[in-house]
Amino acid sequence: MQLRVPGPTPCPPKVLESMSKQMVNHRGKEFQELIKNITAKLQTIFQTKNDVLILTGAGTGAMEAAIVNFLSPGDKVLSASTGVFGNRFADIAQTFGADVTRLKFDWGKPVDPDEVRRALKADSKIKAVLVTHNETSTGVTSDLAAVSAVVKEFDKLIIVDAISGLSSIDLQVDNWKCDVVISGSQKGWMVPPGLSMVSVSEKAWKAHAEAKMPRYYWDLTKAKTFLAKGQTPWTPGITIFYALGVSLDMILAEGLSNVFARHARIAKMARDGVRSMGLAILPVDDKCASNTVTAVKADGKFDVAKLRQILRDEYKVVIAGGQGDLTDKIFRIGHLGWVEDKDIKEVLDAIKKALPKAAV
């Protein structure tokens, strides 16, 4: 089966094999070495000297951690949303009592830094800006460097959901002054779902010290305290740590810039491929088109559900449909993590053959 959804992504055989290793004591020496080793490598890939903490839970758990650790009920927050996951980030903040201003961009468009500036100018009480680097639901990557530069004009906190982009698309946490950045293991990291990561700047730690939203499981003070002794506060997802230990070495051996270039090349191949079939992508231009997921419009030409079923049953290719308002309107090809040119060629060939059978 050629699994090409935007996460979980396939894992390399040696990553999968690493999980057959027997359990170890998570308060013992082996785990200490493992977590310290992994944390240092994560910092390299996050391009940061900030603390990077590993949480056992899905990406949405890390989104919750990124909210409840840095905000208090009643805090004004600006959400810059480009799709389902941007809206989710805002929903979480609202659930925990933040006063959220929702700046929504048309699906297919990236965050406009000028609109962020206008919104921050309009309300000086805004404390933090929530932004999605790579919006999985629309296949759009926003210009995070530019957005962050605007947020820093106002000296506000920037909290970034980079779940489906980090490790596949350049994100310079320190250079771009991103305060809180999260990712999830089942994306470009090439390991199974179950772990998420969060980086925390000094400015964010200061906000954390004042933040009053209730937190226990996701409390990053606990995570930081335990990391100092090579542990996690709660029992960690040990097998995913084993897997990450292997995959991080693969990423670093390939070289971060080569990994980014591979994703860019394959994403272009995906876009060129669907266009050659007369289809159009959802992102408004190639500049904002994601290098990890390509969203393709149906435009009433074919039945998305039928196409996906034919691809699955006849060609052993699994792609994703649309989410939320985009259900039945787009399909999405995931091309992140363990992916080579030949994989996307196979997917494109299958789509080309299946399309006529799914025509409406």
Report the candidate in 210, 213, 178, 182 with the shortest Cα–Cα distance to residue 98.
Answer: 213
- Residue 32 is a binding residue for a second copy (CB under 8 A): no
Residues 83, 140: contact at Cβ < 8 Å? Answer: yes
Q: 10 Å Cβ neighbour count for 257?
A: 9
Nearer to a second copy, 88 or 109 (CB): 88
Closer to a second copy at the Cβ: 22 or 124?
Answer: 22
The least distance separating a second copy from the CB of residue 108, rounded to whole angstroms, comes to 22
Nearer to a second copy, 20 or 124 (CB): 20
Q: Is 28 in the site for a second copy (CB under 8 A)?
A: yes
Three-state DSSP at 148 gives helix
What is the spatial distance between Cα 35 and Cα 154, in angstroms, rounded to a whole number? Answer: 36
CB of 124 to a second copy, least distance (A): 27
Site residues for a second copy, window 228-287 (CB under 8 A)?
Answer: 233-240
Binding mask 283-322 for a second copy (x = CB under 8 A): -----------------------------x-----x-x--
Least distance in angstroms from the C-beta of 154 to a second copy: 27
Per the document, the length of the chain is: 360
- Distance of closest approach, residue 61 Cβ to a second copy, in angstroms: 5
Position among 47, 56, 69, 199 found at the interface with a second copy (CB under 8 A): 56
Taking CB under 8 A as the rule, does residue 188 contact a second copy?
no
- List the one residue out of 77, 90, 190, 97 whose CA is nearest residue 135: 90
The closest alpha carbon to 107, from 146, 143, 139, belongs to: 139
Separation of alpha carbons 189 and 193, rounded Å: 10
Smallest separation, CB 213 to a second copy (Å): 8
10 lies in the site for a second copy, by CB under 8 A? yes
Is there binding between residue 8 and a second copy (CB under 8 A)?
yes
| Sheet of 293-297, strands arranged across | 2-4, 317-321, 330-334, 293-297
| Residues facing residue 134 across a β-bridge | 141
Closer by beta carbon to a second copy, 129 or else 320: 320
Distance set, CA 137 to CA 162, 211, 276, 279 (Å) = 13, 30, 23, 18
Whole-angstrom CA distances from 3 to 114, 143, 344, 347 are 38, 28, 11, 9
- Contact pick of 45, 213, 274, 310 for a second copy (by CB under 8 A): 213
Q: Is 86 in the site for a second copy (CB under 8 A)?
A: no
Q: Does 1 bind a second copy (CB under 8 A)?
A: yes
The site map against a second copy for 142-181 (x = CB under 8 A) is ----------------------------------------
Q: Which runs of consecutive H residues, i.e. helices, occur in the chain? A: 13-18, 29-46, 59-68, 84-95, 113-122, 144-153, 202-210, 220-227, 238-254, 256-276, 304-315, 341-354
For residue 91, state whether it binds a second copy (rule: CB under 8 A).
yes
Residue selected from 194, 230, 245, 283 as contacting a second copy according to rule CB under 8 A: 194
| Binding footprint of a second copy on the chain (CB under 8 A) | 1, 3, 5, 7-11, 16-17, 19-28, 56-61, 63-64, 91-92, 95-97, 184, 186, 192-194, 213-217, 233-240, 312, 318, 320
